C-alpha cells in the first residue's frame, strides 16, 4: 500500500466519520437522557436535507441560512413529536418508543418517496466552499474540509454542554432521578422535550451538511441509520464521548476497508459490532 | 343416429375441446409488474412501469377484443430472495401469467429460473445483464429494452474511439456490475484500449470518495461507472466535487437513465455520453405517448425501462390474442418471437430465438444547461446504432436455444 493513498483514505474516513459522529451523538443524547431508541433519527436527518432544499428552491435562502433554519425547524418538529407521542411512552418498555419512532420513520420516508421519487434532488455546494485543495497526497474538496471542522466543533460543544455545564448537570440528574430534580424547582418535562429537540436538531444539521455531497433523497436516512445504530452500540448506548470517538474511529476503519478490500466496506462496521458485543456487551465506552 | 348427426356431434365436440384448449387461465390475463418500488432503482422503474403496463393494456383495447387483463405490482426490494418468493407465489397461487420489468440483474436472473420452472412468461425491461439472453437464456423469457453488451458497444466503443483508451472501473458488486464490466472490457480491448484497474463497490453505497481517489491515483484516462441509479448519481456528483474532470480524467456512465440526469442536474451531468434505446423527445409518437404518461406519473418523465414495459406488454397481449390462450408460457413466448413487433416507442422490430428484442440504440450526449429548453430536455443525439449492430450477435451468445 502506498502511503499517499493511505493518507487520502484516512482523511476520507474522517469525513464519513463526522457524519457518523453527528448522528450517533444525537442518538446517544436522546437515549442517554430520554431512554428512547430514536429510530426516526434517519428520517429527521433526511428532513433536514429537504428543508435545505426547500429553502433554496421555494424561498431562495441558501446554504448558510439552511444551516441555521433547518435544525430549528426540524427541532420544532421533534418537540411536537415528543409532546404529542413520545411523552406517553416513558413509563413503558423501550420497545414501544422504538416501534413508534420506527413507524414515524417509515411514514416520513414513504411520504417523501411518494412525492419526490427516489433519484433525489440536486443541491449544490455553496460558492464560497467550491474548489479543491491540493494536499500533495490527495485533492481535498473545500466543502469536505469544512464538514470535518464544523462537525468537530458541533460534537465537542454538545459534549461540553452536557458534561461540563450546569444545564448539563441538571439534565443528567433528571435522568437519574426525575422526581428529585423536579422537587428542586426544575421543569423536568420541558427539559426532556428540549433535549429531544436538540437531538433531532443535530440530525437535521447533519442532513444539511450532507445535502451537497449526497443526493437529497428520501432514502438518504435509511441507508445511514443502520450504520449509525451500529456506531452507537459499539460506542456504548448513551455515552456522549463514546459516540463521538466511535463515529470518527469507525469512519476511518471503513475508509481503510474501502481501500484494502472494498467489497467488505458495507459490512465491516457490523463485524466490529458483533465482536464488541461478544467481548464487551456494554460497548467500548458504556458504563453498565 | 344418422351419419349426418354423428358428424355434427363430433364436430361440436371437437369445437368444444378446441375451446377448452384455447382458453385464458382463470379467465383473466394477469400481468405482474415486479420491480423496485422504494429503493435506489424506484425512479427508473417503480410505479412508472405500472403506469406503462396499464397504458399498454388500454392501447391494446383488450376489453373490445374480449380479453380480460389485470395488472398488479410488487416491490422486490432489489433482493433475489424476495423476488423469487413473490414470483413463485404469483405464478403458483395468484394466477399471474406474465411477470414484467424486474430491474436488478441478480433478481432478474432468479425470476428467469422461476418462470422457466413454472413454464410461465417473463418479459424483462429493467435488468441489464446480457446473460439473460446468453448463458442463462430461457425459452420463457424475452429481454426487451437494453443489455450490458449493448451499453458497452454503444458508450464504451464511442469513448475508446475518441481516445479514451485507458480505463479504471467503479463497479457495482453484483451480477449487473460484473456483466457490464466484462462486456465493456471486451469492447475496450477489442478496440485497442486497456483496463488499468478497478474496484467493486457494494450496492447502495453513499460515499464514493474513496473509490474516486483510487481511480484518480490510477491515472486512467477514463473512469468507467459500471453502476446504476442512485449509485451513478452519487458517483458523478462526488467526482465533480473532487475535481476529477478538471484534473483531466473523464467519466463514462455506462448505464445512465433520464431520471439519473434529472437527479444530478445538468450543470454536473453536461457532456456525459450515454446509450439508451428510447428517449421521450424522439418523434411525434414518443412525445404524444410521454404526454399521456406524465399526466399519470405526476410530471415524472418516462425512462427507457418504462417504454420497454409498455412495448413488451403490448406485444405480449398481441401474442395472447393470436393464440387465444395465455399458457403454457413457452408457447406464448414462441408466438411473441414469431410475430414482428410494432409499437409507437421502438418502432418495428423482432425478437430473436434467444429472447433478445432487437431495435435501434442511440448514443446521446447530455446537454449544457444553456441548451435545455424545457422540462427534461436533456439529450442531444450523437449517433444512431442500427438494430442489427446494437446487440450481441447470436453466434456469440452462448445461448442453448440457438442452434
Residue A100 CA to residue A107 CA, distance in Å, equals 11
CA angle, corner B155, sides to B154 and B160, nearest 5? 105
Residue A167 CA to residue A276 CA, distance in Å, equals 33
| Residue B379 main-chain phi, psi, to 5 deg | -110, 145
> If you write DSSP's letter for every residue of A208-249 in order, what string do you get?
HHHTTTS-B-TTTTHHHHHHHHHHHHHH-TT-HHHHHHHHHH
pLDDT for B19 beyond 50 = no
B393 closest CA partner among B112, B146, B149, B144 = B149
Q: Provide the grid cell at B278.
A: 428510447
Q: Provide the grid cell at B259.
A: 431520471
Q: Select the residue from A1, A4, A106, A117 to test the B interface by mutation, using most B Cβ atoms within 10 A.
A: A117
Q: What is the mean pLDDT of chain B?
A: 91
pLDDT for B268 beyond 70 = yes
> If you write DSSP's letter for every residue of B212-251 in order, what string do you get?
HHHHHHHT-SEEEEE--HHHHHHHHHHHHHTTTTTTT-EE
A214 and B206 within 8 Å at the Cβ level: the answer is: yes
> If you write DSSP's letter for every residue of A108-174 in order, what string do you get?
HHHHHHHHH-SS-B--PPPGGG-SEEE-SS-EEEHHHHHHHHHHHHHHHHHHHHHHHSHHHHHHHHH
B229 and A119 within 8 Å at the Cβ level: the answer is: yes
B201 and A5 within 8 Å at the Cβ level: the answer is: no
- What are the beta bridge partners of residue B199? B170
Q: Select the residue from B217, B230, B236, B256 to test the A interface by mutation, using most A Cβ atoms within 10 A.
A: B230
Do A83 and B223 touch, CB atoms closer than 8 A?
no
B213 and A12 within 8 Å at the Cβ level: the answer is: yes
User: Which residues in chain A have their CB less than 8 angstroms from residue B205's CB?
Assistant: 265-266
B210 and A9 within 8 Å at the Cβ level: the answer is: yes
- What are the beta bridge partners of residue B383? B363
Do B256 and B284 touch, CB atoms closer than 8 A?
no
Please tell me the distance in Å from B39's CA to the nearest CA on chain A. Answer: 6
What is residue B65's three-state secondary structure?
A: coil
Task: Please list, in sequence order, all residues whose beta carbon lies within 8 angstroms of the beta carbon of residue B74, skipping any fewer than 6 positions away.
Answer: B32, B33, B34, B37, B86, B90
Q: What is the arrangement of strands in the sheet containing B141-143, beginning at the earlier edge strand?
A: B69-75, B29-35, B98-101, B121-124, B141-143
B233 and A118 within 8 Å at the Cβ level: the answer is: no
B206 and A220 within 8 Å at the Cβ level: the answer is: yes
What sign does the dihedral A55-A60-A63-A69 (CA atoms) show? negative
Residue B33 CA to residue B57 CA, distance in Å, equals 13
What pLDDT, on a 0 to 100 scale, did the predictor assign at position A1? 54
A5 and B210 within 8 Å at the Cβ level: the answer is: no
pLDDT for B6 beyond 70 = no
Grid-cell match 451531468, residue found: B269
Q: Provide the grid cell at A261.
A: 478490500
Neighbour-count burial of B5, counting CB atoms closer than 10 A to its CB (0-12 exposed, 13-18 middle, 19+ buried): exposed
Please tell me the distance in Å from B207's CA to the nearest CA on chain A. Answer: 8
Instruction: Give the model's confidence band at B16: pLDDT under 50 very low, under 70 low, under 90 confident, else very high.
Output: very low
Residue in chain B closest to A252 (alpha carbons) equals B210
B211 and A262 within 8 Å at the Cβ level: the answer is: yes
Residue B34 CA to residue B43 CA, distance in Å, equals 14
Q: Is A20's Cβ below 8 Å from some Cβ in B?
A: no
Q: Select the residue from A119, A213, A250 to test the B interface by mutation, using most B Cβ atoms within 10 A.
A: A119
pLDDT for B217 beyond 90 = no
What pLDDT, on a 0 to 100 scale, did the predictor assign at position B9? 54
User: Which residues in chain A have their CB less than 8 angstroms from residue B43's CB?
Assistant: 117-119
Can you tell me the mean pLDDT for B298-304?
94
Instruction: Give the model's confidence band at A263: pLDDT under 50 very low, under 70 low, under 90 confident, else very high.
Output: confident
Please tell me the distance in Å from A168's CA to the nearest CA on chain B. Answer: 34
Q: Select the residue from B103, B209, B264 to test the A interface by mutation, using most A Cβ atoms within 10 A.
A: B209
User: Which residues in chain A have their CB less than 8 angstroms from residue B209's CB?
Assistant: 12, 15, 144
Residue in chain B closest to A137 (alpha carbons) equals B217
A204 closest CA partner among A89, A78, A109 = A78
Per residue in A19-48, pLDDT tens?
Answer: 999 999 999 888 887 888 899 999 999 999
Residue B224 CA to residue B329 CA, distance in Å, equals 38
Q: What is the mean pLDDT of chain A?
A: 89
Q: Alpha-carbon Rg of chain A, whole angstroms?
A: 19
pLDDT for B3 beyond 70 = no
Can you tell me the mean pLDDT for B137-147?
97
Residue B255 CA to residue A66 CA, distance in Å, equals 34
Residue B366 CA to residue B240 CA, distance in Å, equals 15
What pLDDT, on a 0 to 100 scale, did the predictor assign at position B10? 53
Grid-cell match 393494456, residue found: B57
CB contacts under 8 A, A 64-93 vs B, are none
Instruction: Give the model's confidence band at A10: pLDDT under 50 very low, under 70 low, under 90 confident, else very high.
Output: confident
Helix, strand, coil percentages in chain B from 3-state DSSP, rounded to 5: 45, 20, 35
CB contacts under 8 A, A 119-148 vs B, are 119-122, 124-125, 131-132, 138-139, 141, 143-144
What pLDDT, on a 0 to 100 scale, did the predictor assign at position B18? 41
Can you tell me the mean pLDDT for B289-307?
95
Per residue in B324-376, pLDDT tens?
Answer: 999 899 999 999 999 999 999 999 999 999 999 999 999 999 999 999 999 99
Residue B267 CA to residue B269 CA, distance in Å, equals 6
Instruction: Give the HSE-up count for residue A66: Cα atoms under 13 Å, Cβ half-sphere.
Output: 30
A215 and B263 within 8 Å at the Cβ level: the answer is: yes
What sign does the dihedral B390-B396-B399-B403 (CA atoms) show? positive
Can you tell me the mean pLDDT for B168-174?
95
Instruction: Give the model's confidence band at B7: pLDDT under 50 very low, under 70 low, under 90 confident, else very high.
Output: low
B259 and A119 within 8 Å at the Cβ level: the answer is: yes
- What are the beta bridge partners of residue B342? B348
Q: Select the residue of B201, B243, B264 nearest A139 (Cβ to Cβ).
A: B243
Q: Select the residue from A12, A116, A118, A135 to test the B interface by mutation, using most B Cβ atoms within 10 A.
A: A118
B39 and A219 within 8 Å at the Cβ level: the answer is: yes
What pLDDT, on a 0 to 100 scale, did the predictor assign at position B20? 39
A119 and B237 within 8 Å at the Cβ level: the answer is: no
What pLDDT, on a 0 to 100 scale, did the predictor assign at position B21? 44
**What percent of chain B has pLDDT above 70?**
95
Can you tell me the mean pLDDT for B164-190?
95
Do B243 and B237 touch, CB atoms closer than 8 A?
no
Per residue in A52-103, pLDDT tens?
Answer: 999 999 999 999 999 999 999 999 999 999 999 998 888 888 889 899 999 9
Per residue in B312-323, pLDDT tens?
Answer: 999 999 999 999
Can you tell me the mean pLDDT for B241-247?
83
> Where is pLDDT greater, at B123 or B216?
B123
Grid-cell match 422540462, residue found: B375
User: Which residues in chain B have their CB less than 8 angstroms from residue A113's CB?
Assistant: 38, 42
Q: Select the residue of B40, B199, B204 nearest A262 (Cβ to Cβ).
A: B199
pLDDT for B22 beyond 90 = no
pLDDT for B240 beyond 80 = yes
Neighbour-count burial of B171, counting CB atoms closer than 10 A to its CB (0-12 exposed, 13-18 middle, 19+ buried): buried
Please tell me the distance in Å from A281's CA to the nearest CA on chain B. Answer: 28
B243 and A16 within 8 Å at the Cβ level: the answer is: no
**Interface list for chain B against chain A, based on CB atoms closer than 8 Å:** 38-44, 46, 173, 199-202, 204-207, 209-211, 213-214, 216-217, 229-230, 233-234, 237-238, 241-243, 247, 259-260, 262-265, 267-268, 300
A118 and B206 within 8 Å at the Cβ level: the answer is: no
Do B212 and B235 touch, CB atoms closer than 8 A?
yes
Q: What interface predicted TM-score (ipTM) does this complex get?
A: 0.78
Do B293 and B38 touch, CB atoms closer than 8 A?
no
| Residue B120 main-chain phi, psi, to 5 deg | -115, -170
A262 and B237 within 8 Å at the Cβ level: the answer is: no
Task: Please list, in sequence order, all residues whose beta carbon lies within 8 angstroms of the beta carbon of residue B376, skipping any fewer than 6 positions away.
Answer: B258, B262, B280, B281, B301
Q: What is the arrangement of strands in the sheet containing B222-226, beginning at the earlier edge strand?
A: B194-201, B166-172, B222-226, B250-253
Angle, to 10 degrees, between the axis of helix B105-118 and the axis of helix B80-93? 30
User: Which residues in chain B have their CB less than 8 angstroms from residue A219's CB?
Assistant: 38-40, 230
A215 and B209 within 8 Å at the Cβ level: the answer is: no
Instruction: Give the model's confidence band at A250: pLDDT under 50 very low, under 70 low, under 90 confident, else very high.
Output: very high
What pLDDT, on a 0 to 100 scale, did the predictor assign at position B15? 46
Q: Strand pairing of B361-366 and B379-385?
A: antiparallel
Amino acid at each position: 500500500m502506498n502511503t499517499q493513498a493511505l493518507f487520502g483514505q484516512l482523511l476520507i474516513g474522517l469525513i464519513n466519520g463526522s457524519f457518523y459522529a453527528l448522528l450517533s451523538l444525537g442518538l446517544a443524547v436522546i437515549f442517554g437522557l430520554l431512554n428512547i431508541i430514536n429510530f426516526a433519527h434517519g428520517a429527521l436527518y433526511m428532513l433536514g436535507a429537504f428543508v435545505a432544499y426547500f429553502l433554496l428552491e421555494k424561498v431562495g435562502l441558501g446554504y448558510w441560512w439552511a444551516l441555521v433554519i433547518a435544525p430549528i425547524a426540524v427541532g420544532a418538529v421533534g418537540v411536537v413529536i415528543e409532546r404529542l407521542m413520545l411523552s406517553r411512552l416513558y413509563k413503558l418498555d423501550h420497545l414501544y418508543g422504538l416501534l413508534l419512532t420506527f413507524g414515524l420513520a417509515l411514514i416520513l420516508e414513504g411520504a417523501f418517496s411518494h412525492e419526490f421519487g427516489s433519484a433525489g434532488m440536486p443541491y449544490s455546494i455553496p460558492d464560497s466552499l467550491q474548489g479543491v485543495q491540493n494536499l500533495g497526497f490527495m485533492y481535498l474538496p473545500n466543502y469536505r474540509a469544512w464538514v470535518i471542522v464544523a462537525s468537530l466543533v458541533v460534537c465537542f460543544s454538545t459534549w461540553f454542554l452536557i458534561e461540563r455545564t450546569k444545564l448539563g448537570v441538571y439534565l443528567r440528574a433528571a435522568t437519574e432521578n426525575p422526581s428529585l430534580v423536579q422537587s428542586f424547582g426544575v421543569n423536568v418535562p420541558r427539559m426532556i422535550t428540549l433535549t429531544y429537540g436538540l437531538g433531532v436538531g443535530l440530525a437535521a444539521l447533519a442532513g444539511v451538511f450532507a445535502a451537497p455531497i449526497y443526493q437529497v433523497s428520501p432514502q438518504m436516512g435509511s441507508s445511514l441509520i443502520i450504520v449509525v445504530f451500529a456506531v452507537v452500540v459499539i460506542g456504548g448506548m448513551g455515552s456522549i464521548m463514546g459516540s463521538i470517538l466511535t463515529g470518527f474511529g469507525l469512519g476511518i476503519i471503513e475508509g481503510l476497508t474501502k481501500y484494502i478490500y472494498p467489497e467488505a466496506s458495507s459490512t465491516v462496521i457490523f463485524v466490529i459490532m458483533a465482536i464488541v458485543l461478544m467481548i464487551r456487551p456494554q460497548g467500548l465506552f458504556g458504563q453498565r | 343416429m344418422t351419419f349426418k348427426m354423428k358428424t355434427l356431434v363430433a364436430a361440436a365436440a371437437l369445437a368444444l375441446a378446441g375451446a377448452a384448449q384455447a382458453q385464458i387461465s382463470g379467465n383473466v390475463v394477469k400481468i405482474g409488474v415486479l420491480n423496485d418500488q422504494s429503493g435506489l432503482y424506484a425512479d427508473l422503474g417503480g410505479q412508472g412501469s405500472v403506469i406503462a403496463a396499464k397504458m399498454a393494456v388500454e392501447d391494446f383495447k383488450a376489453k373490445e377484443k374480449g380479453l380480460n387483463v389485470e395488472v398488479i405490482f410488487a416491490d422486490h426490494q432489489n433482493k433475489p430472495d424476495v423476488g423469487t418468493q413473490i414470483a413463485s407465489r404469483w405464478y403458483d397461487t395468484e394466477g399471474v401469467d406474465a411477470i414484467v420489468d424486474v430491474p436488478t440483474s441478480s433478481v432478474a436472473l432468479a425470476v428467469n429460473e422461476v418462470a422457466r420452472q413454472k413454464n410461465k412468461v417473463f418479459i424483462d425491461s429493467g435488468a441489464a445483464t446480457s446473460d439473460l439472453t446468453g448463458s442463462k437464456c430461457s425459452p420463457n423469457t424475452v429481454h426487451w429494452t437494453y443489455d450490458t453488451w449493448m451499453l458497452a458497444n454503444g458508450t464504451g466503443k464511442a469513448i475508446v474511439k475518441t481516445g479514451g483508451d485507458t480505463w479504471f472501473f467503479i463497479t457495482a458488486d453484483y451480477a449487473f456490475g460484473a456483466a457490464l464490466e466484462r462486456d465493456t472490457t471486451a469492447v475496450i480491448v477489442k478496440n485497442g484500449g486497456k483496463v488499468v484497474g478497478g474496484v467493486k463497490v457494494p450496492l447502495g453505497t453513499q460515499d464514493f470518495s474513496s473509490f474516486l481517489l483510487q481511480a484518480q491515483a490510477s491515472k486512467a484516462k477514463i473512469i468507467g461507472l459500471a453502476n446504476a441509479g442512485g449509485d451513478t448519481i452519487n458517483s458523478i456528483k462526488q467526482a465533480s466535487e473532487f475535481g476529477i474532470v478538471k484534473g483531466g480524467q473523464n467519466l463514462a456512465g455506462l448505464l445512465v437513465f433520464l431520471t439519473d440526469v434529472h437527479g444530478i442536474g445538468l450543470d454536473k451531468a453536461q457532456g456525459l455520453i450515454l446509450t439508451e434505446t428510447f428517449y421521450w423527445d424522439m418523434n411525434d409518437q414518443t412525445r404524444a405517448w410521454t404526454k399521456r404518461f406524465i399526466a399519470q406519473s405526476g410530471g415524472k418523465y418516462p425512462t427507457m425501462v418504462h417504454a420497454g414495459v409498455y412495448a413488451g406488454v403490448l406485444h405480449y397481449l398481441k401474442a395472447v390474442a393470436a393464440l387465444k390462450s395465455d399458457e403454457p408460457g413457452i408457447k406464448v413466448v414462441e408466438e411473441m418471437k414469431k410475430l414482428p413487433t410494432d409499437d409507437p416507442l421502438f418502432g418495428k422490430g423482432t425478437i430473436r430465438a434467444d429472447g433478445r428484442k432487437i431495435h435501434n440504440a442511440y448514443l446521446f450526449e447530455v446537454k449544457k444547461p444553456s441548451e435545455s429548453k424545457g422540462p427534461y430536455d436533456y439529450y442531444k443525439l450523437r449517433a444512431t446504432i442500427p438494430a442489427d449492430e446494437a446487440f450481441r450477435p447470436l453466434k456469440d451468445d452462448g445461448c442453448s436455444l440457438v442452434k
